[in-house]
Chain A
């Protein structure tokens, strides 16, 4: 019997007052905490008689250690970091400065190099980094300020009072598979906060709650997403230079899907390799992890990886919707940052610099609100204004139609975007309507049967990995005796409608083998859903693509999840 996680009802929870609670210790949340500390220090130096305290500013991070859930390609545009910590390059963990870039269009056997690198993909001056290491470093900076980071504590629910967010409830710890407290039970805390800052990453579960509660997606394009799967490889020396960057388009995707690969050369012959697939793909048989395996068959990649060793694996979803999908950024007692708000420039495949910038600007707004002792929507609206007027807002505006232009396929997308580059920033000032990712899936009857897939990948545990071996390299770990943090609202749909119509796309879209359809002993010939929640790498894809909107991702016990290092 599957029981799903939810905060235990009718229990007394410790209450704790806070000035600011930042949910999520990624680049956005850490930059926000750091900037807030800087502003408070400045204020305190200038106002000896009205001191502000940092004691009641908290960062909640669901990973056991800082940075463990952070994953990205990653290339860092240093612009916002230079504003936050001038001279940061001297001490931050950076792998290499980008020295060389190339863009290829792939067919199954060959490749065509773009004669010039399109301007948005010119990366000179950017850095190849491990986001996980970078955030770890940023977190140590935050801890030096005296702001407390609660690692291993997840924000599990927003506390609301009418039209205000008044706090965050953390996860209940020590709950068994049947939602009963165990001997080590510890109820979640109610952090009663003046300002709650949501920096949860893509498809944050509190952000989702907030958007639903206040209909923040009204008058906007639905947010659309991509799933990025990353592998880290150690390869023999000389295959790729540190700071060398390769992007590919085309094969193994068809013209119907949006996406492409990255290959970044890091230091010590470590290569970051990954594939991003737009989750608006129409064919429910698509499996992004499999796309990456296919990709490794290409001579360009196979040659690079030959005799190498895969050392890490991970996946995350990313918001592609851009400008037209960004929700209101602030309200009574709340602000939204980074990937949670959709700050990703899909044209440049970059979002870390925007996440950091949004964190800094939200910190300014929070600081002004604390000084004014007013955390109303009106006061916090300054964050929205600051962001729109900043270079980050302008960058997002410029890239506003890039992803939408690919809506009907690759060819039209390239044409439209080429045109937009040529004509400058004049066209497309209103949004082109798009569908939610869960609405784009076509029934099997229109695309072909499940029989057509499953062959062709010679899984060898070396170049080609099955998902379970991947999960091992993601370091996913969690308490087995706890309710499932994947809430499946109607399990019958899985065995009946979804199995027949779509062939259970969750089982393929999940990069960590969390979802399986197994034989149902009670009804021979039928399959039933089986979940492996502790495999989960927290990418949230299942919550995004399910055609029946039948899956809800909530936070598991804090401290669970992948254990990314170097990623």
Chain B
């Protein structure tokens, strides 16, 4: 069997990842340099059309690895399927995009095959007969060339952006597509996929808020945060805080305003029990109207406040909530 390079492309919900094209570009370049045959594979359930899409590029052959157990993705199923397939094909080199999914299953796959992977590479070099793969070290300050000392197949993952996906060469004619039905025995897949977790873009985007109610140390206890929250809700605004509050874990860090948090410029900024250290001020001084409530008449927050209320916030905020509610109901 001639030496070959196998690129494993990645798909999500019937769409190929952009990085998959980048890895294919890398595969084409490596194939040109080594003279090895370039093949590609896509794994999943009902991936024939994706395989056809890849077959339009300059590759010798595309495999659609089919199994109902490959959808939805689990690391056990992917490792098992690819192990079978790669063991039967014995490519020299297996290329994958360095995605979260690849980071998830490749260590398992490579360990099961008793091989090694060079991960997160940004390029390659050919040194005589040796293939060197370049990895970044020290956050990109150094580049290390790494090579394999074990037997093939060799596994390499390429970093996002290392190659140009738009430079992938089209084939002169569509490459043949072979569907390979993969048998995955019962009991192999131990993972139970749950609903895909989508990280909220950022739970709150305080920079877009028109009204912000912000709390500082004057709130005293975690349970009192509720009071500020009620005021924010009554006003239709967002809740935010100064550093000590987020530091104590009373509110998540994405609600922190100031030099180590977010910088905001709402129409109205209500500072409850915030002394007004410069670190906080730089994050909110752009607010159009600042109302500050603080027991300490010397608190620096009053220097930038448009309305300064010297008093105990626990006396002032509850009637405020009532008044806001009343006014809103009236309007």
Q: Do A and B come from one complex?
A: yes
Which of B47-55, B138-146, B206-214, B233-241 has 4 or more CB atoms under 8 Å from chain A? Answer: B138-146
Q: Is the CB of B278 within 8 A of A152?
A: no
| In-complex Cβ contact of B141 among A148, A186, A461 (8 A) | A148
Q: Is the CB of A530 within 8 A of B137?
A: no
| A482 shortest CB reach to chain B, Å | 12
Counting CB contacts under 8 A, is B279 at the interface? yes
Q: Is the CB of A530 within 8 A of B277?
A: no
Q: Which residue on chain B has the smallest CB distance to residue A516?
A: B244
Q: Is the CB of A472 within 8 A of B279?
A: yes
For chain A, the count of residues having a C-beta within 8 Å of the partner chain is 25
| A167 shortest CB reach to chain B, Å | 15
Counting CB contacts under 8 A, is A14 at the interface? yes
Counting CB contacts under 8 A, is A189 at the interface? yes
Mask: chain A, 467-506; 1 = CB below 8 Å from B; 0 = not: 0110110000110110000000000000000000000000
Q: Which residues of B contact A468 (CB under 8 A)?
A: 277-279
Counting CB contacts under 8 A, is A534 at the interface? yes
| In-complex Cβ contact of B260 among A153, A186, A534 (8 A) | A534
Docked CA distance A150–B136 (Å): 13
Q: Which residue on chain A has the smallest CB distance to residue B279?
A: A472
Q: Which residues of A contact B278 (CB under 8 A)?
A: 461, 468-469, 472
Q: Is the CB of A189 within 8 A of B138?
A: yes
Mask: chain B, 98-141; 1 = CB below 8 Å from A; 0 = not: 00000000000000000000000000000000000000011101
| In-complex Cβ contact of B139 among A186, A477, A521, A530 (8 A) | A186
Q: Is the CB of A472 within 8 A of B247?
A: no
Query: Which residue among B138, B222, B243, B247 has the maximum number of chain A CB atoms within 10 Å of its CB?
Result: B138
14 residue pairs of the A-B complex, CB under 8 angstroms, read A16-B137, A148-B141, A152-B139, A461-B278, A469-B278, A472-B259, A472-B277, A472-B278, A480-B253, A480-B260, A481-B253, A521-B220, A530-B244, A530-B247
Q: Which residues of B contact A461 (CB under 8 A)?
A: 278, 300
Q: Is the CB of A148 within 8 A of B142?
A: yes
The verdict on A189 contacting B260 (CB below 8 Å), with A461-B300, A468-B277, A530-B244 known, is no
Docked CA distance A477–B248 (Å): 18
Docked CA distance A478–B279 (Å): 13
Q: Which residues of B contact A469 (CB under 8 A)?
A: 277-278
Q: Which residue on chain B has the smallest CB distance to residue A173?
A: B139
Counting CB contacts under 8 A, is A532 at the interface? yes
Docked CA distance A521–B221 (Å): 7
Q: Which residues of A from 170 to 188 have beta carbons under 8 Å from B?
A: 173, 186
Q: Which residue on chain A has the smallest CB distance to residue B222?
A: A521
B-side interface size class: 20 to 34
Mask: chain A, 524-560; 1 = CB below 8 Å from B; 0 = not: 0000001010100000000000000000000000000
| A274 shortest CB reach to chain B, Å | 21
| B11 shortest CB reach to chain A, Å | 22
Docked CA distance A468–B279 (Å): 8
Q: Is the CB of B141 within 8 A of A150?
A: yes
The verdict on A471 contacting B279 (CB below 8 Å), with A186-B139, A461-B300 known, is yes
Q: Is the CB of A532 within 8 A of B277?
A: no
Q: Is the CB of B279 within 8 A of A14?
A: no
Q: Which residues of A contact B253 (CB under 8 A)?
A: 480-481
Docked CA distance A521–B250 (Å): 13
Docked CA distance A478–B259 (Å): 10
| A563 shortest CB reach to chain B, Å | 11
Q: Which residue on chain A has the smallest CB distance to residue B278?
A: A472
Q: Which residue on chain A has the smallest CB distance to residue B100?
A: A183
Docked CA distance A532–B244 (Å): 8
| B310 shortest CB reach to chain A, Å | 18
Q: Which residues of B contact A153 (CB under 8 A)?
A: 138
Docked CA distance A14–B137 (Å): 9
The verdict on A532 contacting B142 (CB below 8 Å), with A16-B137, A469-B278 known, is no
Q: Is the CB of B141 within 8 A of A477?
A: no
Q: Which residues of B from 127 to 172 have beta carbons under 8 Å from A?
A: 137-139, 141-142
| B47 shortest CB reach to chain A, Å | 28
| A19 shortest CB reach to chain B, Å | 15
Query: Which residue among B142, B220, B246 has the maximum number of chain A CB atoms within 10 Å of its CB?
Result: B142
Q: Is the CB of A480 within 8 A of B259?
A: no
Q: Which residue on chain B has the smallest CB distance to residue A186?
A: B139
Mask: chain A, 28-72; 1 = CB below 8 Å from B; 0 = not: 000000000000000000000000000000000000000000000
Docked CA distance A429–B282 (Å): 56
Docked CA distance A461–B275 (Å): 14
Q: Which residues of B contact A518 (CB under 8 A)?
A: 217
Q: Which residues of B contact A151 (CB under 8 A)?
A: 141
Docked CA distance A481–B260 (Å): 11
| A502 shortest CB reach to chain B, Å | 24
Q: Which residues of B contact A530 (CB under 8 A)?
A: 244, 247-248
Q: Which residues of B contact A150 (CB under 8 A)?
A: 138, 141
Mask: chain A, 448-469; 1 = CB below 8 Å from B; 0 = not: 0000000000000100000011
| B135 shortest CB reach to chain A, Å | 9
Q: Which residues of A contact B248 (CB under 8 A)?
A: 530
| In-complex Cβ contact of A480 among B138, B141, B247, B300 (8 A) | B247
| B212 shortest CB reach to chain A, Å | 20
| B64 shortest CB reach to chain A, Å | 31
| B57 shortest CB reach to chain A, Å | 31
| A132 shortest CB reach to chain B, Å | 21
